[in-house]
Structure 1
Amino acid sequence: MGPLKGIKVLDLSRILAGPWATQLLADYGATVWKIERPQVGDDTRHWGPPFLKDPDGIDTSESAYYLSTNRGKQSIAVDITRESGQAIVRRLLARADIVVENFKVGGLAKYGLDYASLSAEYPRLIYCSITGFGQTGPDAGLAGYDAMVQARGGLMSITGERDGLPGAGPQKVGVAVADLMAGMYAVSAILAALHHREKSGEGQQIDLGLLDTQVAWLANQNMNYLIGGEVPVRQGTAHPNIVPYQALPTADGFLMLAVGNDRQFASCCEVLGLAPLAQDGRFATNRQRVKHREQLIPLLEESFRRKTTADWIRLLGAEQVPCGPINSIAEVFNDPQVLARGMRFDLDHPLAGRVPQVANPVHFSRTPIEYKGAPPLLGADTEAVLQALLEE
Structure 2
Amino acid sequence: MENGAAKCDSRERKPTPPLTVRSVLDALMENLDQSDRRPVVPLGHGDPSSFPCFRTSPAAEDAIVEALRSAKLNCYAPSLGLDAARRSIAGHLSRDLPYKLSADDVFLTAGANHAIDILITALAQHGANILLPKPGYPTYEACAAFRHLEVRYFDLLPEKGWEVDLDGVKVLANDKTVAMVIINPGNPCGSVFTLEHMKKITETAKTLGLLLIADEVYAHLAYGSNPFVPMAVFGSITPILTLGSLSKRWIVPGWRLGWIVTTDPNGILQKSKVVETLQSYIKITADPATFVQGAVPHILEKTTEDFFLKIRNMLREAANICYDKLKEIPCVTCPHRPEGAMSTIVKLDLSLLEDINDDLDFCVKLAKEESVIVLPGSAMGLKNWLRVTFSVEPSLLEDGLLRVKTFYLRHAKKK
TM-score range, shorter chain: under 0.3
TM-score, normalised relative to structure 2: 0.23
Higher relative contact order, structure no. (Cα contacts within 8 Å, ≥ 6 residues apart): 2
TM-score, normalised relative to structure 1: 0.24
Bigger radius of gyration: 1
More helix as a share of residues = 2
